[in-house]
Structure 1
Amino acid sequence: MSRRELVVLGSASQTPTRHRNHNGYLLRFDAESLLFDPGEGTQRQMIHAGASAGELTRLCVTHFHGDHSLGLAGVIQRLSLDGVAHPVRCHYPASGQVFFERLRHATSFHERAELVPLPVEDDGPLDGPLSAYALDHRIDCFGYRYTEPDGVRMLPEALEAAGIRGPDVRRMQAEGVFTVGGRTVGLAEVSRPRRGQVVAFVMDTRLCAGAFACAADADLLVAESTFRAADAGLAARYGHLTSVDAGRLAAGSGARKLVLTHFSQRYRYAEADRFGAEAAEVFDGEIHLARDLDVVPLPPRR
């Protein structure tokens, strides 16, 4: 059975705490498992979450600050240790190639897994359903957008009325038309458009055009919320979002569900609800406050 869910492996920012590990986000989307921004401790968090290196199909790094990438070395070695047989695509800012290579070969190990480095240079489509968007941080940073292709939803009543049954339904989907009883039936007569689902990851950034483009009409938006609203000056100085900024991003992009994460260690764990309350002042959609090992399902289709 296919799964579409976000597993929060870590929700801290620069410094981990007793309650929050460094960043780490596993997106399971049908046959794909994408690991975003593996910080320190990601391997252990994956074990706690019941996730294995063998399921990973992509590694995606938004930027090469340590809390988003220092766990990459261990994850890469784990792919070989576990004998992962399929290629694993690696997406990261091209300007950080030297850091990727250092992390990939941080220590001696027998590299058996097949990594496919795909450095990101510009905005736009990458491969398959993944796209990247330049953000406004202190170093090169990209947001990632995973887009399911649009499809159709077959209408059982219409199919029955047209006399299309069993394997003929799949043939109709593949060819777009089907002749039955001397009558040609078009796909549009027995189906309705089905919009593909979209998941967006917007990590360290100020509000910018790239963030809004990445998050546009997302069903699930995972956004950093490093600072509370009272510390907006710090957020602007260090290239981060506040809780209110994340809410504005979700509202302005038409996102449906917002996951707030990447909380600064300056705030007590019990203060998390205040981030949600501040974001809710400007965004009236569903808000989830990330906690380590949370499993967040994608919303139902529109």
Structure 2
Amino acid sequence: MRELVVLGTASQVPIRARNHNGYFLRWDDDVFLFDPGEGTQRQMALAGVSVTAITRLCVTHFHGDHCLGVPGIVQRLSLDNVAHEVVAHYPASGAEYFANLRRASSFYEVAQVREEPVVAEGVIATGPFGELHARRLDHRIETFGYQLREPDSRRMVPEKLAEFGITGPAVGALQREGGELLERVSEPKPGQRFAFVMDTRLCDAVYDLAEAADLLVIESTYLHADAALAEEHAHLTARQAARVARESGVRTLVLTHFSQRYDDLSLFHEEAAAEFDGEIVVATDLARVRVPRRR
């Protein structure tokens, strides 16, 4: 299963209907938890997802609405005796903050949390999920966006296999060996991409992260009418987010991180729809969004 569970959609100030950030991504056998803000544990309980499933923790930056849930998550991993290793990614410049969050109170640590701070842009991790990329964004403190990229592969075409008389174990051998014959009996199978873009002004890195994303989760703190505020506070508007989606070939656009000044979120959909004609999800707390079927 590949699915996003939205745990919170507020920006700096949570309100009754919107908790601080938190994004739980199921990607086959891996679970990525992005930017756990205050109250993440409770939101996970309400959403019916388990802390024990988390395999990677990814923090974009160290503003409170993106990281104050880290202590509870780290401690819960030990409380639940999670046996597998959990890898934590965060900007290396904020290592002191992560250390303070990780040891925010006394607890008996038994879980294995391995820190892999992000020191530079590029591929920061590989695994069964593919590659995890990071790009530096344009915010008031060092901030990284993340992109999960599954490698491209090939899909076998049964009719072509039959034409060449390839059956049984020979199919697997052909896939391993490659070559011209493989290309003749198969077709390209593009890998899927997930992108996660939080607090930033518009910059090249936003477009790079969003490029060909099947699912783009992106902050849209403000509406276009407040574009000056967005620029001043280093955030995006819904119009900007939608323009990125359109120009980057995104399939499903998920808008989130809404300022507390807005009550009517339908305005975000209207603004985005004027720029982007793909699927638009205006995120709400506890919503579930499936990663689209393969192209």
TM range (shorter): over 0.9
Determine which of 111, 124, 131 is the counterpart of 2:109. 111
Determine which of 36, 50, 53 is the counterpart of 1:52. 50
- C-alpha separation between the residues in 2 aligned to 1:39 and 1:85? 24
- C-alpha separation between the residues in 2 aligned to 1:293 and 1:163? 50
Indicate whether 1:173 and 2:170 are aligned: no
Give the corresponding residue for 1:147. Answer: 149
CA offset digits 1:25-59 (Å, max 9, x no partner): 01111111000000011111111112112211100
Deviation (angstroms), 1:165: 2.1
CA offset digits 1:39-83 (Å, max 9, x no partner): 011111111112112211100000000000000110011111111
Give the corresponding residue for 2:193. Answer: 198
TM-score by length of 1: 0.94
- C-alpha separation between the residues in 2 aligned to 1:33 and 1:167? 33
Determine which of 160, 163, 178 is the counterpart of 2:162. 160
**Number of residue-to-residue matches in the alignment:** 291
Deviation (angstroms), 1:167: 3.1
Matches within 5 A, 1:257-276: 257-268=252-263, 271-276=264-269
Give the corresponding residue for 1:250. Answer: 245
Deviation (angstroms), 1:168: 2.8
1:207 partner SS? coil
Give the corresponding residue for 1:98. Answer: 96
Deviation (angstroms), 1:112: 0.7
Give the corresponding residue for 1:72. Answer: 70
Matches within 5 A, 1:118-137: 118-128=116-126, 129-137=131-139
Superposed CA RMSD: 1.1
- C-alpha separation between the residues in 1 aligned to 2:167 and 2:71? 52
Deviation (angstroms), 1:138: 0.6
Determine which of 85, 88, 95 is the counterpart of 1:87. 85
Gaps of 5+ in 1: 178-184
Deviation (angstroms), 1:164: 2.0
1:157 partner SS? helix
2:32 partner SS? strand
Determine which of 261, 286, 290 is the counterpart of 1:293. 286
- C-alpha separation between the residues in 2 aligned to 1:54 and 1:186? 44
- C-alpha separation between the residues in 2 aligned to 1:10 and 1:89? 22
TM-score by length of 2: 0.96
Give the corresponding residue for 1:241. Answer: 236
- C-alpha separation between the residues in 2 aligned to 1:169 and 1:51? 38
1:221 partner SS? strand
- C-alpha separation between the residues in 2 aligned to 1:97 and 1:150? 34
Deviation (angstroms), 1:158: 1.3
Give the corresponding residue for 1:283. Answer: 276
Deviation (angstroms), 1:173: 1.3
- C-alpha separation between the residues in 2 aligned to 1:8 and 1:240? 20
Deviation (angstroms), 1:161: 2.2
- C-alpha separation between the residues in 2 aligned to 1:56 and 1:166? 37
The one-letter amino acid of 2:280's match is: I
- C-alpha separation between the residues in 1 aligned to 2:169 and 2:46? 42
Deviation (angstroms), 1:11: 0.7
Aligned-residue identity in percent:
58
Deviation (angstroms), 1:157: 1.2
Gaps of 5+ in 2: none
Give the corresponding residue for 1:24. Answer: 22
- C-alpha separation between the residues in 2 aligned to 1:10 and 1:249? 22
- C-alpha separation between the residues in 2 aligned to 1:53 and 1:260? 24
The one-letter amino acid of 1:244's match is: R
CA offset digits 1:66-124 (Å, max 9, x no partner): 00000011001111111111111100001100000000000011111111101112211
